[in-house]
Amino acid sequence: MDLKPDVLIVGAGISGTAMAIALHRRGLSVVLVERDAQVRERFKGEYLQPIAVHRLQHLGLGSVIESALEAREATAIRELRFRDLASGSLFSKAVSFLAGSPDAAGTLSDVLVRYPKGSHGVSISQHALATRLRAIARKELGADFLEGVELQLKSTTLDRPRLVAQGRRIQPRLVVGADGRNSTVRGWMGGPRAAATGRPVVGAEPEFLVGVDFETDARLPHRYEVIRTAGEGTFSFFQLSGGRQRLYWNTQDASAGKQGWRERISSTMDSQVARHLGQNAEVGSLAGAPANTAWMGPVGRGRFLLVGDAVAVTTPLGGQGMAFALEHVERLVEEIPLLFRQTQSSRRFSADELRRVARRHHASSRRYFHHINLMNLFLYHLCFSRSRVARHLSRAVFSHWNEHPQARELVAEYFAGTRVNGLTPLRIAELLGIPGMARVRALGGVTTKA
């Protein structure tokens, strides 16, 4: 039997499944197709910023997070901490002496940021979150959720899409590609491939991101911790579930391979990191991939729209990609039902109306994409870059945060998603406490408002 849904969604990852459930609940007929019969274990999408948690709640999926927290498959993250370990070099000893620090082998910078009251992030494995969302999709979509199915495009025009899955023809009024950075749907649209490698941000060297799971007795499970070491890369830690902790290691050593990375992580944690975490840890499963450069492609063509990683790849810092994907879903879940309600009597809604939706989708995506990556530019050089200039900039900025609690509160509001709109590059730099910004603003006669 042919399927003629209002919307065909390709990809049952987090954004695709959330979108399918939300549109179905708003009265549209939805078919969700996923190539993988089971959710694969991946080192991906483990941290939801508070703004991403709020978006899931707004979509009516807050119970997914609540049940995962109750089952200890997820952990609430309420604070962020950054530390920069001194190298012990003669140069560092001189700087520490001039700064009045008695411990040249200690830390150059140390700052703690707490989310505003009532807001928290969530760490949860991509596998656990996607599995819970798929369970809801199976229950609510029933036979219209096709798992383990290859989809083929049969039409030659994107204005009248016809597809085949398991011998069944599908003729949707709209197709949404939520099938990741290597999107097949984007290929059907004639879109380019996402960048595979490159500099994470302007001024950075190409990096490799190594992910590790290990057992821990962490005493502060509600903290997202970043530790920049002296010459051995930067480590990010957060509790994942139960006794498991996730570690990400930013390194420029892409050639060492799994065994080499494992040995270097173990050595570095033993010698530099463990005592700062107050624990010892045994390195467990491990995976690595390039820390890709930010990239944004087209958002739609014909009766096809894209969401999430199919639209853009963001620098992998602090859950920004998940926030970006759920922003897409939240916005389109409001717009798409309006588009269909205006054309209930016809199988072919106005192409002009769809183009207007696509233009708004593109404009909003580009604004948010630039905003995220501008913030990532600052965060990378403050917290991850190991250049001498970046480390001294960090000392100045984090000293400013520690001396001015109101500045730290503003940053916490930004991370919580309550202070995003209207921020210019200059205002973001000023908010972060980049040295000299107040002087630059005064000299330029520029007025910035939050």
- Per domain, the residue ranges of the chain are 7-71+122-196+295-372, 78-117+198-290, 386-444
Residue 416, token pair as written in the block: 């919580």
Lowest average pLDDT, out of 50-54, 229-233, 346-350, goes to 346-350
Residue 446: its pLDDT value, please?
A: 42
Residue 342 in this model has a pLDDT that exceeds 80: no
Residue 406: its pLDDT value, please?
A: 82
Average pLDDT over residues 4-23: 97
Average pLDDT over residues 187-216: 86
Residue 104: its pLDDT value, please?
A: 42
Q: What is the architecture of the domain spanning 78-117+198-290?
A: 2-Layer Sandwich (3.30)
Of 403, 422, 341, the closest CA to residue 173 belongs to 341
Instruction: Let me know the angle formed at the C-alpha of 24 by 122 and 26, rounded to the nearest 5 degrees.
Output: 95
Residue 379: its pLDDT value, please?
A: 86
Residue 180 in this model has a pLDDT that exceeds 50: yes
Residues whose CB is less than 8 angstroms from the CB of residue 11 and which lie 6 or more positions away in sequence, other chains included:
33, 34, 177, 178, 179, 180, 183, 185, 310
Residue 165: its pLDDT value, please?
A: 93
Instruction: Tell me how long the chain is.
Output: 450
Per-residue pLDDT band for 412 (boundaries 50, 70, 90) equals: confident
7-71+122-196+295-372 has CATH 3.40.430.10 classification: no
Residue 44 in this model has a pLDDT that exceeds 90: no
Burial 279-314 (b: 16+ CB within 10 A, else e): bebebeebebbbbbbbbbbbbbbbbbbbbbbbbbbb
Burial 197-233 (b: 16+ CB within 10 A, else e): ebbbbeebeebbbbbbbbebebeebbbbbbbbbbebb
The pTM of this model reads: 0.89
Average pLDDT over residues 206-225: 82
Per-residue pLDDT band for 16 (boundaries 50, 70, 90) equals: very high
Give DSSP secondary structure letters for 370-426.
Answer: HHHHHHHHHHIIIII---HHHHHHHHHHHHHHHH-HHHHHHHHHHHHTSS-TT--HH
Residue 420: its pLDDT value, please?
A: 61
pLDDT, one tens digit per residue, over 63-104 is 999 999 999 999 999 999 999 987 644 444 444 444 444 444
Average pLDDT over residues 100-119: 76
